[in-house]
Amino acid sequence: MTAKTIMIQGTGSSVGKSLMVTALCRIFRQDGYNVAPFKAQNMSLNSYVTADGAEIGRSQVAQAEAAGVEPTADMNPILLKPEVDYRSQLIVHGKPVGRLESKNFNKRKESLWDAVTGSLDRLREEYDVVVIEGAGSPAEINLRKGDIVNMEVALYANAPVALVGDIDKGGVFASLYGTMMLLAQNERELVFGTIINKFRGDADILRPGLVQLDELTGVPVLGIVPYFRDIYIPEEDSPSSKNTRDDETALIDIAVIALPHISNFDEFDPLTREPGVNLRYVRSAAELGKPDLVILPGTKTTIPDLLAIKEAGIVGQVKELAAEGTSVIGICGGYQMLGETIFDPAKVESSEEQVDGLGLLPVFTVFDHHKETHQVAGTITTDRGLLEDAAGLPFTGYEIHMGATATEANLSEGVSTLERRTQPDVEIVDGVANSDGWVVGTYVHGLFLNDELRRQIIANLARRKGLSMRIEGGQAAFSQDGEYDKLAELVRSSLDMEKIYQVMGFGR
């Protein structure tokens, strides 16, 4: 069996390629097809761990969820995780294999093309349909020589290509036309239509422009997809207004430190759907204020990001807030920052061999070249402070980190472990809470995705302020599966699906 394919490319980054692929995955699934997403190369700090321990981009996980299939490394065979402006960690088939520097970007095809084609071939053998996503723009002419993610993939798979443009940014007609004109003739022949995304207003105003665009490009406009605010699909690139909730009447104020290389920030999104909770991302000391909870999130580069927030004055302010009683949670890299000291003798992360942490937890971290990637499940063991009445609650999550963190010998009196997990037959204590339980740290991503645990934390924050908040409710009615259905309904009603099926060779 060789799957039918369709590819979504765009005029640039953040124009809506991932959302279109997610919607099409759900539409094809609704129509009875066994479908898989594919993106040859992803550059993102938002990643996820598959059941077999492979690390892939978060957007392909969402697309697999929409398709109703288990995510695998073949859906995103190459993942680049930026470390500095000119270098990224290189992950191939879910495992780190080294670093890729920007000066070698056009040479990557020599060593990585087989990984791309091998993964795509396997997916095409297993599924009825593969929906392929490009990256950035196919018209980046300076990068054409080393292309392994846009038109080279389309040509390899002989995949019909739909080109997406973002009208909300302005200049959508020029972007779509210009992109087409910068493609080679054999590449243009694969483009069967364009999509105008994020439109607000009366579509009749666009009609004259659509006619001219059809004539200029030689392909039809497949549809106009409206701008929406009421559908939640996990973000990939960086926190946006969709990841915040700014409500001055909220009872609980939570501040997430927006680290320069923040990762996996979508794990905090469930907090925005809880009534009475305000969630905001803080990029300077002046923005921090006096929240009820400070979250130090994950990061790809713990030491450089720690030094950056020290220089910005954020570290000093967080320490002052903690001394005054504000609760603090550190996750993954944030957990490492909360400790006494971070050691990097092999200079895995930076040129600094030793850096002082915030000193809010009696732990130290040592970096080496080994990377931990696991899905985890466990139970909360501590029962004080932020986690009062949470002991025994089950949780699931995942780990993605370099380095190991340990407590001081025999644990200081009054310090308790945060949670216990099993992996797969080994019981591991993973995380620490301070003596009063209001500062906690853990390597486990995804704790706030656990409804009962999340609501208990919110209730404890409220109780500390002398308030009462119901633990139940909140997003009980929220269904991620339902969000995929809503997205599919919007896109299906906006696009010429008959045309799409026709060019894919379904004969509809």
Q: Which residues are catalytic?
A: 332, 445
Quick one: CA dihedral 18, 23, 29, 31, positive or negative? negative
Could you tell me the two tokens for 182? 């910068």
Strands 327-331 and 293-296: parallel
- Taking the C-alpha atoms of residue 405 and residue 423, their distance in angstroms, rounded to an integer, is 17
Provide the CA 106 distance to its chain's centre, in angstroms.
26
As a whole number of angstroms, the distance between CA 122 and CA 130 comes to 11
CB 491 within 8 A of CB 66: no
Contact 252, 454 (CB under 8 A): no
- Comparing CA positions, the residue from 252, 433, 423, 436 lying closest to residue 335 is 433
Task: Sort strands 55-57 and 78-84 into parallel, antiparallel or unpaired.
Answer: unpaired
Distance CA 64, CA 56 (A): 12
Q: Which residues pair with 56 in a beta bridge?
A: 48
Q: How many CB atoms lie within 10 A of CB 352?
A: 14
Beta bridge partners of 356: 341
CA distance 54 to 309: 30
